[in-house]
Structure 1
């Protein structure tokens, strides 16, 4: 690790020298274009633009500032005006006229949602979130803004593990910028991949529903892609920054984050950081729930434009967590230390079908320790601790081609993930008092994935077709197998070939309606956990789990249908999906003897013959007046084990969201009321001891107002009615399986300062 850090420092120093040299070589005079509505002549605020390597958002006057480039096309997108582009000649004319106009437009649909920290590009369903979500110490928790995403909680304030349409863990592909990922070092997933994402520079989160996004890897149930902000190159050198802080009353949670950067015509570099801490919160009945935690991040980044065609991007983050309570588990998180780094080179081309070629590399290392040494238990049977380490690294190369009537993405990628960890158990009572046992949990297991992929978009008439494919070689091995595991499995290494294909089409049906349909067949190999975990309770019930190195890949055959309606100031999107799963990976009870006396037995990962999932998601938004709007969303998933003719476990119930929002005082004062209604979940898996959960209703209020151009104040209350409730996917506490209740009423206040 020391070598990696030293190498990273040298790379950063070299990039710093490079952008200082280039800043003098390529400085130019900037020009502006003001974008206005065709009818009202009002400015188009929040317009996304991409011009070569220059990206950003139009300001409050609808103005975009650019460094002129005679070869580049200006790409533009807006939630109300659609997506369009200006060729080099049109850009030149716009510079001369100083302004251009655009009418409101309609746009097609895709099976995708986007949680946007800024206005997003080329996506249909958008959930705008306020600055205080960027302050969150767990990037997984912000996914709950979309009702299609639920989460498994084992701790009160840390480790939100996303579940999309009943797919969880490695059935979901979680990536940053389409490549970087992390593996949970904790076998109980106290530190899921989403918890390692630093939100300081995240622009938006793509929730790519279904197995269709094969560019970024195999996501059997979907892909969650955290997209970082693009570099902001300016004509004049300058400094920028942001410092935000928020306090929550319930649990005394303090969250802080900030970044400081320096930018010029060909560089954008800076540092970022965050720090959060909290104590036990109170549920709706005033009963404390163990939920203390400490979390922080520090990072550096450098984006350098080395000439007009080459962009270099470098980043290193250091995350840490301390003393996070997990009351539903036998141990708590003591320390979690993570290094994440990436290096990316992008080259653009003109005058040929190949438009862009990107090469990138990344590494991630998670060093985790969990134990029960701070637990107050009587009588205390044993002391237990588990240090564990996971490492990920990968390479990716991708090209983008634009033909006369289509666009093609194609490339290769390689990812390797490894995990190692041993649990120690010191017996404190009984005839074996004083003895220490060591359990080889991860067995120094390793999985390598080598993939080739292609994604082609092409129009035929008024219909846009999409075809995606991936072929992946999955190689797994245990480098330090445990003796009891080798007695159970004679073969410890395994190589599998996983193909995937997705085809889709979307079409405008008249002026207001649109229709999209996607079909896919994708296969996924078992994860490190499913192949190599060695006698540890990591599932829904307290049974210890044992992996199977030769478990067969599971396959998802899925169909998504998206129907949209958009006219004047109203938009509706309805998504229906059906998923047939073959060789679905689950677990069954065995006669094996567990390691802990408190465990009822041992389960082993196996393939089920068949399973089925289906569901619906609705998104509705309407502008009522020039100042008031409202929206409605819901998501529902039905899952069934066809072998047992029984419900699949860990399927969230119907979740309905309604929000009424307004902006007053010249658009400066923003207010909102959010209502969430969740139904009873009585479709539960008795095989896994899953219990029914009651429904609940929550009401939240918020208000924000800017003080000048640089200071924003926001406040509000969550769970205003002080409802006592718990989520269906939250794990129960203790042997009696008492519910882990969510926070009761919680007041918050946030202050954010930005410059310039």
Structure 2
């Protein structure tokens, strides 16, 4: 009997060993691995995983069960957290720890670009990201880091007014944390909304291309969302801070930024401030360009973890600007004083579909004065004190289902403007006479909106559907006599629906495809409805608004092809936009208020217009020390009624950069090339001139000194190119170009603690 048992045992052992080698996933016991949200540390249900022949979806607690080996990778994906992988070593460590965490990446479900502005405290220290942009006195100017954003400039040093795909001004929705905004008090937009954003606490900027981001309002051509840092609560109370200063040689520009904070387990409180000043600079040929400015911000913030589920956030900023030169306009900015405040409450829930509910209120007031008292010679003393106010609220819920997510809520915004121009004639037969021009007519617009955004996977495709219904009410409380004669009815209410639907799908391991379609309608702005005989456009003709102007509609299709594998990533976006009732202006036989004006234009609706174009972004890690990037953007616009180019469309813009890291990744270096083609497709109807192309080369390097100091320096426009942007407004009746700075050296020192 013993002789029979021993061979049988040997056979069983050999068979078991063979099965183990042939089917390791079966032979080895499956082990649990919980997938957590990086912020809340709650389990993420509905995560799709694949590990060799094993595949499935995480349960309600976010747990998956896998049998591991030393060769197979783990592939994970979720509609709200993107797709990511773990190599065998990372899997082993995760199994030992019992869990892994992942950050939400909802912005990946629509066409967008993200500009990083912050050197974070973790792995991003190894990436070449500078605090230099945070020091900038104009939050609009930093948007030019991305070639898809061009900008209208009327000052050589201030008020970069962004343009995306040829959409500008109120066709773009500009918000802070998806909520707060400011209205330009100056009719000529000396103070666009971007200029009022304090960069001291901004973590990143989302550039949401196209009209798809309906959660934050109606952005006919796109949404720019400045996202602030999240509160940093610590178990041990402490103090933190930052002091940074930057000097630019061309224009003697000083930029300074400081922040001091106090944090603990349930609070993060701080004060912040910035101050910048600059003088006239030299263009590439050594000619001076008027560029004086003074700009500053002081602010206070307080974040409280009132309970384990309740977060309260308060923010108050005071911005000011003084004596800013605007060579392309008839006046300069003398004073600009702005208050911006917001209060937000967020409550999180567990064990139910409703995961989060947030309620916010905000208030903004801009007190602006422009005049011509610094101009010589002049035939009149003119000044315009203007006040604009914004206030509103937003209430939004976030629901998480097993595989889907829903955002829904309501928001309200009221914007108003009031200002009268005073003209005192100082020369000629009318010397001594004073005229008063009611420019804004105490006008208001109220917007009440309902919105929803639903995201759900259908098979291997992620669907994103957004909708908004907005009631737009406009009125002029103090209409001027000449305006009332032209428009007997100055009050109007319009209903604006918007809908967007998109689908994104992975095509194999490397490629992805996304397609988004939207139809969105926008009512005219305060300027387009109520401006009263003032030159605010591309040419010197005075403009007058139309309270009954129809809403303009954008029907847009975006196609996004992505490639992401190992050390290479590429994204190509193609877009087409068909617009109806496009808001433009036409010459009339009305008499202008100023004798120097050639005539009067009135805002009207253009029946049809189209815009098409593409954007390309490429990145490759060449080696452990070098990486390079390429970005290209181009837009083509056409007025179908005139069979002519639309005005103010930027030419093709190409950016190429090479980054290098050395000395244990402490020394960070960069070379950036920008090439812009000539723009010859211009609007003759608006007197738009052609502009030449140009090429720029910038160099920079940064190095930390100890643990708290960072030194950065560089050269901008190395070859002293004499150039100007197509969208920069010319100077005077002779249309003299307002040239950009020539060669410029800068040095920055930043001190952080702890």
TM bin, normalised by shorter chain, reads 0.7 to 0.9
Q: Is the 8 A contact 1:115 1:128 kept in 2?
A: no
1:521 aligns with 2:510: no
Any unmatched runs of 5+ in structure 2? 1-35, 43-59, 64-75, 121-126
Q: Is the 8 A contact 1:220 1:556 kept in 2?
A: yes
Q: Is the 8 A contact 1:109 1:562 kept in 2?
A: no
Any unmatched runs of 5+ in structure 1? 1-46, 54-70, 121-126
> Using the alignment, how far apart are the partners of 1:208 and 1:177 within structure 2?
13
CA displacement at 1:73 relative to structure 2: 8.6
CA displacement at 1:85 relative to structure 2: 12
Q: Deviations over 1:519-546 (max 9, x none)?
A: 0000000000000000000000000000
Closer, same or farther in 2 for the Cα pair 1:98/1:749, shift >3 Å?
A: farther
Closer, same or farther in 2 for the Cα pair 1:364/1:85, shift >3 Å?
A: farther
* From 381, 387, 395, the counterpart of 1:397: 395
Closer, same or farther in 2 for the Cα pair 1:108/1:433, shift >3 Å?
A: closer
Where in structure 2 are the equivalents of 1:164-313 lying within 5 Å? 164-313=164-313
Closer, same or farther in 2 for the Cα pair 1:477/1:365, shift >3 Å?
A: same
CA displacement at 1:51 relative to structure 2: 2.7
Where in structure 2 are the equivalents of 1:90-105 lying within 5 Å? 97=97
Q: Is the 8 A contact 1:185 1:390 kept in 2?
A: yes
> Using the alignment, how far apart are the partners of 2:590 and 2:435 within structure 1?
18
> Using the alignment, how far apart are the partners of 1:457 and 1:132 within structure 2?
36
Q: Which secondary structure does the structure 2 equivalent of 1:195 belong to?
A: helix
CA displacement at 1:203 relative to structure 2: 0.4
Q: Which secondary structure does the structure 2 equivalent of 1:194 belong to?
A: helix
1:50 aligns with 2:39: yes
CA displacement at 1:97 relative to structure 2: 3.7
Q: Deviations over 1:548-579 (max 9, x none)?
A: 00000000000000001111211110000000
Where in structure 2 are the equivalents of 1:102-501 lying within 5 Å? 110-118=110-118, 129-377=129-377, 380-501=378-499
> Using the alignment, how far apart are the partners of 1:639 and 1:505 within structure 2?
26
> Using the alignment, how far apart are the partners of 2:522 and 2:482 within structure 1?
27
Q: Is the 8 A contact 2:415 2:444 kept in 1?
A: yes
> Using the alignment, how far apart are the partners of 1:273 and 1:626 within structure 2?
38
CA displacement at 1:52 relative to structure 2: 6.6
Q: Deviations over 1:214-240 (max 9, x none)?
A: 000000000000000000111111010
CA displacement at 1:720 relative to structure 2: 0.2
Q: Which secondary structure does the structure 2 equivalent of 1:727 belong to?
A: coil
When Rg is computed on C-alpha atoms for both structures, the one with the higher figure is 2
> Using the alignment, how far apart are the partners of 2:486 and 2:594 within structure 1?
18
> Using the alignment, how far apart are the partners of 1:338 and 1:366 within structure 2?
4
Q: Which secondary structure does the structure 2 equivalent of 1:234 belong to?
A: coil
CA displacement at 1:355 relative to structure 2: 0.1
> Using the alignment, how far apart are the partners of 1:473 and 1:82 within structure 2?
35
Q: Is the 8 A contact 2:257 2:273 kept in 1?
A: yes
Q: Which residue of 2 aligns with 1:583?
A: 581
> TM-score normalised to the size of structure 1?
0.87
Q: Is the 8 A contact 2:185 2:368 kept in 1?
A: yes
> Using the alignment, how far apart are the partners of 2:414 and 2:108 within structure 1?
37
1:744 aligns with 2:733: no
> Using the alignment, how far apart are the partners of 1:281 and 1:300 within structure 2?
33
Q: Which secondary structure does the structure 1 equivalent of 2:619 belong to?
A: strand
> Using the alignment, how far apart are the partners of 2:196 and 2:428 within structure 1?
41
> Using the alignment, how far apart are the partners of 1:329 and 1:745 within structure 2?
26
Q: Is the 8 A contact 1:108 1:514 kept in 2?
A: no
Q: Is the 8 A contact 2:183 2:192 kept in 1?
A: yes
> Using the alignment, how far apart are the partners of 1:669 and 1:180 within structure 2?
38
Comparing 197-206 with 424-433, which one deviates more in the overlay? 424-433
CA displacement at 1:83 relative to structure 2: 5.9
Q: Is the 8 A contact 2:447 2:473 kept in 1?
A: yes
Q: Which residue of 1 aligns with 2:11?
A: none
> Using the alignment, how far apart are the partners of 1:199 and 1:619 within structure 2?
25
Q: Is the 8 A contact 1:657 1:677 kept in 2?
A: yes
* From 666, 669, 682, the counterpart of 1:668: 666
CA displacement at 1:405 relative to structure 2: 1.5
Q: Which secondary structure does the structure 2 equivalent of 1:405 belong to?
A: coil
Q: Which residue of 1 aligns with 2:717?
A: 719
Aligned residues: 675
* From 604, 607, 610, the counterpart of 1:606: 604
Q: Which residue of 2 aligns with 1:7?
A: none
> Using the alignment, how far apart are the partners of 2:511 and 2:258 within structure 1?
43
Q: Deviations over 1:396-453 (max 9, x none)?
A: 0000001112000000000000000000001111111100000000000000000000
Q: Deviations over 1:700-740 (max 9, x none)?
A: 00000000111000000000000000000000001100100
Q: Deviations over 1:189-226 (max 9, x none)?
A: 00000000000000000000000000000000000000
Q: Which secondary structure does the structure 2 equivalent of 1:326 belong to?
A: coil
Q: Which secondary structure does the structure 2 equivalent of 1:599 belong to?
A: coil
Closer, same or farther in 2 for the Cα pair 1:416/1:715, shift >3 Å?
A: same
Closer, same or farther in 2 for the Cα pair 1:52/1:242, shift >3 Å?
A: farther
> Using the alignment, how far apart are the partners of 2:628 and 2:515 within structure 1?
28
Closer, same or farther in 2 for the Cα pair 1:604/1:195, shift >3 Å?
A: same
Q: Is the 8 A contact 1:117 1:128 kept in 2?
A: no
Q: Which residue of 1 aligns with 2:548?
A: 550
> Using the alignment, how far apart are the partners of 2:417 and 2:714 within structure 1?
42
CA displacement at 1:118 relative to structure 2: 3.7
Q: Is the 8 A contact 1:423 1:441 kept in 2?
A: yes
Q: Is the 8 A contact 2:110 2:502 kept in 1?
A: no
Q: Deviations over 1:78-116 (max 9, x none)?
A: 9xx966799xxx9xx9798499699xx9x9663100111
4+ residue segments displaced more than 3 Å: 71-74, 81-86, 93-102, 107-110
Closer, same or farther in 2 for the Cα pair 1:214/1:165, shift >3 Å?
A: same
